Structure 1
Amino acid sequence: MALLHRAELTPGKLDLLAPWLPARPWYRGPAEPRLVKVSAFRFDDPAGAVGVETLLVRAEEGGPVFQAPVTYRDAPLAGAEAWLLGTMEHSILGTRWVYDAAGDPVYAAALAAAILTGGTEAREEVSVDGVLQPRTPAMSVRGTGTAGAAVPPVTAVTAVVEADPTVITTDGLELTLVRVLDGGPRAEGAALLWGEQALALVRDM
């Protein structure tokens, strides 16, 4: 379950992404984009410490949809300075360090588990005056694996090749993250799907 709060964020999520996105080698669009959120989904951190959210954004009308997963932490992630988008002030949780999730092992572990075990996006609940209220996720994703399948432990990201797809090497497996979504057919092999669009795959090491 992803526990959310009705809160003010300063700066907002798109405000952090707007200067970061044009510097990516896989980006194409205006140099100073005015981003529009297309959709989003979340994964659970089993430890309940890290927020894991995937944002789908568009930089211009009619332009491609970009996949930008991020993680939210209550303290800096050691050794991950290259993946830091910036900090935001959360009106309830305080300062949050926001990272490109490609460099965060919590994201890699959650993504691998969803793909290999046939998992889905996290169930969402919003805390309103201390009362939890269910919220329907904005989009649905599914892994092509099998419930109960073995998932290699992931505790560290050892390398990232920042391209499209982005290749994430961990101490347990390799993942590829599709950055530019074109609505193409589902990929062969173990993948995370949004409809027929492959969002990410597990690579053999």
Structure 2
Amino acid sequence: MSLIHRTTLSPTKLELLTEWLPRQPWYAGTGGRPELTKAGGFRLDDPRGEVGLEFMVVTDGSGDEAAYHVPLTYRGAPLAGAEQALIGTTEHGVLGTRWVYDGTHDPVLVGQLAAFVRGEAQAQAQSVSDTPDPTVGRSWTGPAQAPSHGSGAVADGPDGTTDVVLDGDPEERLVLRVVRALRPGAGIGSPGGGVLGHVDARWRLPDGAEARAVLVTFHDRAPVA
């Protein structure tokens, strides 16, 4: 169950992202300090109830009102081997110190995202406890027993993030691609060739209008190099 605590968070998520976002290769800003607003997103549940899983969309008012997709995980202790993915730590009024990670490096988030795209998990409302969010779209045309564990082979580039997803068979892989800079309508209806599954969601534009785009795609298996 996705339990949302109404409490303090210091520093806030947006404060952490303001420092982290400009260092990413897919950030389109031109040197100014980001002016971030939470514009949308959703959550998934960790079956063990230990890790918070959030897919956040923020808009940056410092330039052309760009929108960015940032998967986040929240942990009660550091994630071993993921130092490069740490966004920062924050003090939660109920849970104490929380380690906040770029979720593309977190195997729990990758596994639950694979479960969701195959229809084995529900998207949850971003800010309301135990409330499914039926507005989050998904599709899956791949095999029922698709890989579901992130290998840690994460690559960031100007076009987004890719993550090799492996599960047992070292000769094959499934590639997860996370869209970072969002464009309204991008990928809706035609996510692209070789796509086995996708996730799409909505967010609010600065003028109050609603936008939707594909946030994540899963691509066909290919031999491991």
The interval holding the TM-score normalised by the smaller chain is 0.7 to 0.9
Helix, strand or coil for the counterpart of 2:104? helix
Is 2:122–2:132's contact at 8 Å kept on the other side of the alignment?
A: no
Q: Is the 8 A contact 2:123 2:136 kept in 1?
A: yes
Aligned equivalent of 2:164: 169
**Could you tell me how far 1:102 is from its partner in structure 2?**
1.0
Q: What amino acid sits opposite 1:157 in the alignment?
A: S
Quick one: structure 1 residues 123 and 18, their matched pair in 2 at CA, closer, same or farther if it must change by over 3 Å? closer
Residue type of the partner of 1:199? L
Q: 2:208 maps to which residue?
A: none
Q: Distance in 1 between matches of 2:177 and 2:18?
A: 23
Alignment of 1:32-181 (within 5 A): 32-60=33-61, 62-117=64-119, 120-122=122-124, 140-145=135-140, 149-154=144-149, 156-163=150-157, 164-172=159-167, 173-181=174-182
Write the letter of the residue equivalent to 2:41.
Answer: A
TM-score normalised by length of structure 1: 0.85
* Unpaired runs of at least 5, structure 2: 168-173, 203-211
Alpha carbons 1:83, 1:100 under 8 Å: kept: yes
Over residues 105-160 of structure 1, what are the superposed CA-to-partner deviations in whole Å (9 max), with x where a residue is unaligned? Answer: 1111111111122754125786xxxxxx65575x83121127x9434241x43211
Question: Secondary structure at 1:204's aligned position in 2?
Answer: strand
Residue deviations 1:140-193 (CA, integer Å, cap 9, x gap): 3121127x9434241x43211102231011323320000011022321431011
Larger mean CA deviation between 73-82 and 185-194 belongs to: 185-194
- Alignment root-mean-square deviation, CA: 2.4
CA distance in 1, matches of 2:127, 2:85: 28
1:197 and 2:213 correspond: yes
Q: Is the 8 A contact 1:124 1:136 kept in 2?
A: no
**Residue correspondences, number:** 196
* Cα contact 2:76–2:97 (8 A) shared by 1: yes
Q: 1:141 to 1:92 in 2, by over 3 A?
A: same
* Matches of 2:127 and 2:58, distance apart in 1: 23
Stretches of 4+ moved more than 6 A in 1?
none
What whole-Å deviation, never above 9, does each CA across 1:70-89 have from its counterpart, x for those lacking one? Answer: 00000000000000011000
Distance 1:64 1:202, change over 3 A: same
Distance 1:106 1:119 in 2: 13
Q: Helix, strand or coil: the match of 1:110? A: helix
Which secondary structure state, in structure 2, belongs to the residue aligned with residue 168 of structure 1? strand
> Is the Cα contact below 8 Å between 1:3 and 1:124 reproduced in 2?
no
Calculate percent identity across the aligned residue pairs. Answer: 39
- Gaps spanning 5+ residues in structure 1: where? 127-132
Which string of whole-angstrom CA distances, capped at 9 and with x for unpartnered residues, describes residues 3-30 of structure 1? 1111100000000000100011110125
